[in-house]
């Protein structure tokens, strides 16, 4: 299912709003995400750094974990924006861990990832950015 242009633009705008809350004292690289649930709710997320780096959480996972913690597990799309503070950004694709979280909850053929950079956007399916992803199907025993 292809998103309407208005929905895509709204999600990118929401991602930029989420980006304003990024806690990035170490990298100064701010990321915002806006996750659209199938029920129409939008969950915002920002990246949250930590001095020891391992506990750092990406914007995409923040949005997913907020939604899942509220009982929502079905999603249509996510918009992601990222850039250094004070700089214009380029497309900021999700990291491997975030792609794996997406694979846990989203249909790889249908879920859309919208990358925003200023006025430009680029849209991909999860399957396009995570070919041969590891999912719950891999854990099912074959008979």
What's phi and psi for 69, nearest 5 deg?
Answer: -65, -15
Strands of 112-117's sheet, edge to edge? Answer: 42-46, 29-37, 75-84, 112-117, 120-125
Write down the catalytic residue from 5, 14, 17, 60.
Answer: 60
Q: Residues 44, 33: contact at Cβ < 8 Å? A: yes
**5 tagged catalytic:** no
**What is d(CA 74, CA 51) in angstroms, rounded to the nearest whole number?**
33
Q: What residues are labeled active site? A: 60
């Amino acid at each position: 299912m292809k998103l309407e242009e208005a929905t895509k633009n709204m999600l990118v705008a929401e991602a930029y709003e989420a980006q304003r809350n990024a806690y990035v004292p170490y990298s100064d690289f701010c990321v915002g995400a806006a996750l659209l649930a199938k029920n129409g709710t939008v969950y915002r997320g920002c990246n949250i750094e930590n001095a020891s780096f391992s506990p750092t959480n990406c914007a995409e996972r923040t949005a997913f974990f907020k939604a899942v913690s509220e009982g929502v597990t079905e999603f249509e799309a996510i918009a992601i924006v990222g850039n250094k503070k004070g700089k214009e950004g380029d497309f900021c694709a999700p990291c491997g861990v975030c792609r794996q979280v997406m694979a846990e909850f989203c249909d790889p053929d249908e879920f859309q990832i919208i990358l925003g950079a200023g006025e430009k956007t680029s849209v991909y399916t999860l399957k396009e950015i995570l070919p041969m992803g590891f999912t719950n199907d891999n854990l099912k025993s074959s008979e």
